[in-house]
Structure 1
Amino acid sequence: MTLDKVVQRPADAVADIPNGAALAVGGFGLCGIPMVLIDALLAQGADELSVVSNNCGVDDWGLGLLLAAGRIRKMTSSYVGENREFARRYLTGELELELTPQGTLAEKLRAGGAGIAAFFTQTGVGTAVAEGGLPQRHAADGSVLVASEPKRVETFTVRGEPREFVLEEAITTDFALVHAAQGDAHGNLVFDKSARNFSPLAAMAGRVCIAEVEELVDVGDLDPDAIHLPGIFVDRVVVVGRDVEKRIERRTVREVN
């Protein structure tokens, strides 16, 4: 592997993503999403994708564009809201959904990147997450066609108290797509504030990580203590510039008189 990981065009960076690929995609809502790479993948034409991401964007932006084009077969997410097409496709059987608690999803991605096969967590114990029965695919008439299977539950003693934990398997994917504020040619990345969210974890989980960066700096310019994701996890870097469009999912401010 060359140390210079810069790819000149987004189209070239995603050119080898095949039909049926599994993708881990960074971002939370519309914050920190790799929109340029998503657009490039939309143009590239890959189909039947299995995507792991906190949510699926909105109807006209982010992963919602791939969904509206019918290119996503399955979503592994923690949140369905803000995207009517996501809900519609799920309820009519056009989309498979593995609904996962948000913290568990983050840890499944981190564990996959760290080479940990599975882990026990208290999250989901006593619910359908552990006991099974969560609808994963509906029939066209809205009935449940496929439901989640029960998961293994074990009791461990924590601080002298027996507690139940559910076994969750790690997630690894074929590719990962992330957006960063800064990066260098070796793939070291810095994310901007809350845009950091799921991105380092998604990057770790992907066997091939493709990062779009707003600013490419010289190798050595980044303070090692300020690097959020080391380049060992990154395979390709595409410079998209600081003027890349960023949308706000929901405004919560009021007008000042």
Structure 2
Amino acid sequence: MQVKQKVYELYKGTVERVTGPRTVSAFLEKGVLSVPEFILAGDNLVAKCPTWSWEAGDPSKRKPYLPADKQFLVTRNVPCLRRAISLEEEYDAAGAEVVLDDDDDGEGWLATHGVQASKTNEEEDIPSMDTLDIGKSDGIKSIPTYFSGGKKEEEEEEDIPDMDTYEDTGDNLVAAEPSYFVAEEPEDDNILRTRTYDVSITYDKYYQTPRVWLTGYDESRMPLKPELVFEDISQDHARKT
């Protein structure tokens, strides 16, 4: 597999060196992007989503057909809270694939997530306004303790001790309790530690399309091994690109 990959990369690199970059749009005809279209799309992404930014990258790997400061796009520290297998199991339990707006030709949009039965039951239990009898509601009742504030304040004032009753011992109250203002770290910081990913988008001159790259990190910010990255990718797409 590694030999085939190396041969493919060698062939691909040779083709890229002998052919020039696409400058004429052919998106509608072939679904490919020219270099100006890729740069324009990247500028729009950065403008609308501030978490994305252009990067210059390593000068030794710079592509001459792209601006020096716009070699690729990147967004960092994207959280990945759950593994793909758990989402797939939940998706299957919710009814798997659901086609929306199906027409006579059998074509329609595929729902990106299922609707859990529990949620449907909760919505059915919500009463309508027609079933509520507002006229039978109890009237407003007064609570006597809310209207006895004056008497309560007089009792509290009588309980306030006179400062003259205290003897001046000369001791510092703060010094008497040195641990009173000592801050201690809690044993549990209650921080949800999860995997994160850096997502990059480059321009592929050979295919004339954008390519997406993932760089994963574990809960300790250490790089993920390839087999662990596949845990976060659906089995329908893993090992196919």
TM bracket (short chain) = under 0.3
* TM-score normalised by L of structure 2: 0.19
Q: Which has the larger radius of gyration?
A: 2
> Which structure's residues are more often helix, by fraction?
2
> Which structure's residues are more often strand, by fraction?
1
